[in-house]
Structure 1
Amino acid sequence: MTEVPSPQLRISDQNRESALSALGEHMSAGRIDIDEYGERSARITAAKTRGELVDLFADLPAPHPRYDDVPQAVAAPEPATEAAPAPRHPGTPDGWTGPQRFVAAFVPLVWIAVIALIATGVVHGALILVPIGLSIFGRSMWGHSGHHDHRHDRHLRDRERRRELRDSFRDHRRGLDR
């Protein structure tokens, strides 16, 4: 039989992120309002132990924070997450169609060829409109889903903001304790 971990165990940033995500789902569902979300999220960012997180979710149904180091049979209930969107074109690992793959491979070659032709003086500079048009066309074929870096940057900014909130909450608490 597996033991349930002690509520005194220290939590990680991943545990806090899981708790904030679950709390956001409760706010989206209307279980808590924006003021309560702000209060609880400040307490989550300042939390040090599992017991503190458990207390914050005691009056809420699932989802609750996840603890990756605990077997799921004894962990807090797994947050309800939306299913990952199916690829737009099933059967291909990345969901791209044949024409999308062609454009993705062809456009960089056209850019290189046009720049080389313009640089050598073989053709007029207006030919630059061809790769620009192809790039716009290619972009319209698969939209904005290719920009994962922006999500990663946002994630890092959000993590930094949560740390700032946690530190400011701790400083505030220290001021009240004096």
Structure 2
Amino acid sequence: MTEVPSPQLRISDQNRESALSALGEHMSAGRIDIDEYGERSARITAAKTRGELGEIFADLPAPHPRYEDVPQAVAAPPEPAAAPAPRQPDNWSPPQRFLAAIVPLAFIAAIALIATGTLAWPIIFVPIGLTVFGKSMWGHDWNHDVEHRRRHERHLRDRERRRELRDSYRRELGR
């Protein structure tokens, strides 16, 4: 059984970002104009509670801000979570796995050889060359997990949306 959280419950920055995103969708749909967007976004930035955010969206249909970070009350206590499984690289080929293992070892070996005086400092270019080779073979994100790529792509989309909103606001001011 869940209960509805109080409107006096304080909100997080994530809630404010969700509200700004929802407000941008309302502006894109033509429900509010650029001036009203500016006024409401200022109120969202200053909001401290759910009730204040609710007032801003009272006359608008969905989407509304999401409050996913607030745990809901439940009748039964949650079961303890199992330890997360160790992360495995996604779909790496054997050469990628080999290079990912050998590059740190090559750096350690090069530093040790330089420190002992066995070889001169240019040996450091061997592990650097391996790194450059890996990047050229498998692209920029061959060593990032899928979730990192999704966050990065979402960040780029959000940044582009903010730029479009900023530019449309500037155009409106110029008229």
TM-score by length of 1: 0.53
Kindly indicate whether residue 92 of structure 2 is the aligned counterpart of residue 97 of structure 1.
yes
Tell me the distance in 2 between the aligned counterparts of 1:132 and 1:50.
51
Tell me, yes or no, if the aligned pair for 2:11 and 2:50 is still in contact at 8 Å. no
Tell me, yes or no, if the aligned pair for 1:5 and 1:70 is still in contact at 8 Å. no
**RMSD of the alignment, in Å?**
3.7
Kindly indicate whether residue 130 of structure 2 is the aligned counterpart of residue 134 of structure 1.
yes
Tell me the distance in 1 between the aligned counterparts of 2:118 and 2:4.
74
Unaligned runs of at least 5 residues, structure 2? 73-86, 156-175
- The one-character-per-residue Cα deviations of 1:56-97 (angstroms, maximum 9, x if unpaired) are 2234443211224375xxxxxxxxxxxxxxxxxxxx954240
Unaligned runs of at least 5 residues, structure 1? 72-91, 156-178
Tell me the distance in 2 between the aligned counterparts of 1:58 and 1:136.
54
Tell me the distance in 1 between the aligned counterparts of 2:131 and 2:124.
11
Tell me, yes or no, if the aligned pair for 1:11 and 1:49 is still in contact at 8 Å. yes
Q: What is the percentage of aligned positions where both structures have the same residue?
A: 68
Match of 2:115 in 1: 119
- The one-character-per-residue Cα deviations of 1:121-155 (angstroms, maximum 9, x if unpaired) are 3223322211111122334435257496xx8xxx9
Tell me the distance in 1 between the aligned counterparts of 2:104 and 2:124.
13
Q: Which runs of 4+ in 1 moved over 6 A?
A: none
- Check 1:27–1:10 CA distance in 2 against 1; reply closer, same or farther (3 A cut): same
Give the length in aligned residue pairs. Answer: 130
Report the alpha carbon displacement of residue 2 of structure 1 after superposing the two structures with TM.
Answer: 5.5
TM-score by length of 2: 0.54
Tell me the distance in 2 between the aligned counterparts of 1:33 and 1:42.
14
Kindly indicate whether residue 9 of structure 2 is the aligned counterpart of residue 10 of structure 1.
yes
Report the alpha carbon displacement of residue 110 of structure 1 after superposing the two structures with TM.
Answer: 0.4
